[in-house]
Amino acid sequence: MTLILGLEGTAWNLSAALVSEEKTICEAESTYKPLHGGIHPREAAQHHASEIKNVVSRVFRGAEEGVFSLDSIDAIAFSQGPGMGPCLRTVATAARALAISLKIPLVGVNHCIAHIEIGRWQCGTKDPVVLYVSGANSQVLAYRAGRYRILGETLDIGIGNALDKFARYLGMSHPGGPKIEELASKGTEYVYMPYVIKGMDLSFSGLTTAAKDAINVHHHKTEDVCYSFQETAFAMLTEVTERAMAHLGKDEMLLAGGVGANRRLQQMLQTMCHDREAKFYVPENKYLKDNGTMIAYLGLLHFKTGDTTPIDKSAVKQNYRPDEVEVTWREQS
Ligand code: AMP
Ligand code: MG
């Protein structure tokens, strides 16, 4: 049995988990909650720095209770990127310190690919087109010839970020996505919103501006604007995902990332998949948002193919793209 400790802390959620090939053995987390406004990178990093000892200790408590032994941990995996620089550096420092003190290898992993692999693991889907939607990222990906290829992505901000910004404008606290979802469920009238797709890429920042204007200038009801925002943004995401599936001839689709918790988005994708006789997969919410288990699990896949990260190559990569990673654990196709 292989045991990997994974550390996640790219943005607001600090999380550690110990996994084996079969399951999560122990996990613990601590979430940074901004008092007002959005995520401030330095404050989030400060949160991670003060909480990391506690979070890792809670996982290590399993060793004191005889669930596992500390010397049976094979490697320390951590999110090398993409993410907020100060947050990434804080967690990477902790990962290096643990690897050195436990005298085990370090495995730097790509956060986006971790979202994909935890979904494949949890849902049992083999070769899906993936829609990865989080605060900072919005990408449509699929595996081909040793890499996860990005078929379409946002040209500006992530969909989560667009929702959070609008929610903040309405005076709601972070994260705004679930609050917008709640309001949208009460909307009835569609208000015009810009539907921006360029080739396979998407743009969301104009939507946030249009939504603000719809409230401020045109005095539409908040519920109707939230409803229209969601209908427009999610239709754009569904269209690009469908085009990727049609082009590649794939009949499985996996939803990943925090925005994936949205019921309306799930419903639109489900309908699209049903219409094309494809299977739609979505993991449970705790694996959609950022979590240590997904980092540990991808670390395990790397580790088992002999892929580890020497300390001098462990610098964080704020803009680490998934297609930079050579996928050594899947069959070539
Ligand atoms: P992540 O970056 O993957 O942790 O995802 C965080 C993002 O997911 C934030 O932008 C949240 O507002 C968003 N989010 C979480 N739950 C929902 C939801 N039910 N609907 C829309 N967005 C959501
Ligand atoms: Mg994420």
Q: State the distance from the centre of ligand 2 to the C-alpha of 112, rounded, in angstroms.
A: 7
Per residue in 146-190, pLDDT (tens digit) is 999 999 999 999 999 999 999 999 999 999 999 999 999 999 999
Q: Which atom of ligand 1 is nearest to the CA of 160?
A: 10
Contacts of 105 (CB under 8 A, 6+ apart): 74, 75, 76, 99, 303, 308, 309
Q: Kindly state if the Cβ of 181 falls inside 6 Å of ligand 1.
A: yes
Q: How far apart are CA 124 and CA 274, in angstroms?
A: 18
Ligand 1 atom nearest to CA at 133: 3
Residue 75 alpha carbon to ligand 2 centre in Å: 22
Establish whether residue 38 lines the binding site of ligand 1, counting it when its CB lies within 6 angstroms of any ligand atom: no
| Ligand (nearest to CA of 10) | 2
What pLDDT is attached to residue 272? 98
3-state SS record for the chain:
CCCEEEEECCCCEEEEEEECCCCEEEEEEEECCCCCCCCCHHHHHHHHHHHHHHHHHHHHHHHHCCCCCHHHCCEEEEEEECCCHHHHHHHHHHHHHHHHHHCCCEEEEEHHHHHHHHHHHHHCCCCCEEEEECCCCEEEEEEECCEEEEEEEECCCCHHHHHHHHHHHCCCCCCCHHHHHHHHCCCCCCCCCCCCEECCEECCHHHHHHHHHHHHCCCCCHHHHHHHHHHHHHHHHHHHHHHHHHHHCCCEEEEECHHHHCHHHHHHHHHHHHHCCCEEECCCHHHHCCCHHHHHHHHHHHHHCCCCCCHHHCCCCCCCCHHHCCCCCCCCC
Residue with the smallest CA separation from ligand 1 atom 21 is 177
Lookup: tokens for 87: 């947050």
Tell me if 176 CB under 6 Å of ligand 1. yes
The dihedral through the CA atoms of 223, 226, 231, 232 has a sign that is: positive
Query: Chain-centre distance of CA 276, in angstroms?
Result: 26
pLDDT score of 37: 84
From ligand 1's centre to the CA of 178, what distance in Å? 7
Amino acid 269: pLDDT: 98
Burial of 296 (0-12, 13-18, 19+ CB in 10 A): buried
| Residue 257 Cβ < 6 Å to ligand 1 | yes
| 211 CA to centre of own chain | 25
Measured from the alpha carbon of residue 161, the closest ligand is 1
pTM listed for this prediction? 0.97
Q: Determine contact, residues 218/77, Cβ cutoff 8 Å.
A: no
Decide: 25 in ligand 1 pocket, CB within 6 A.
Answer: no
- pLDDT score, position 38: 86
Residue ranges in the chain whose pLDDT is less than 50 = none
**CA 161 / ligand 2 centre spacing (Å):** 12
Spell out the domains of the chain, with CATH numbers in brackets: 4-115+288-324 (3.30.420.40), 127-286 (3.30.420.40)
How long a stretch of residues is the chain? 333
Residue 276: partners with Cβ closer than 8 Å, 6 or more residues away: 242, 245, 246, 251
- The finding on whether 8 has its CB within 6 A of some atom of ligand 1 is no
Phi, psi of 58 (to 5 degrees): -65, -35
Mutate to test the pocket of ligand 1, among 115, 174, 259 (most ligand atoms within 8 A of CB): 259
Closest CA to 311 of 161, 96, 101, 125: 96
pLDDT digits (tens, 9 = 90+) for 212-222: 999 999 999 99
Centre of ligand 1 from the C-alpha of residue 176, in Å? 8
Q: Give the torsion through C-alpha atoms of 89, 91, 93, 98, to 10 deg.
A: -170
Nearest to residue 59, comparing CAs of 88, 93, 30?
30
Taking the C-alpha atoms of residue 193 and residue 175, their distance in angstroms, rounded to an integer, is: 22
Whether ligand 1 lies within 6 angstroms of the CB of 158 is answered as: no
Residue nearest to atom 22 of ligand 1 (CA): 177
Q: Is the beta carbon of 259 within 6 A of some atom in ligand 1?
A: yes
- Of ligand 1's listed atoms, the one at least distance from the Cα of 159 is 10
Taking the centre of ligand 2 as the mean of its atom positions, its distance from the CA of residue 229, in whole angstroms, is 22
User: What pLDDT was estimated at residue 312?
Assistant: 97
> Residue 36 has which token pair?
């007002």
**Model pLDDT, residue 3:** 97
Beta-sheet pairing, 201-202 with 197-198:
antiparallel
Ligand 2 centroid to residue 270 C-alpha, Å: 22
| Closest-approaching ligand to the CA atom of 113 | 2
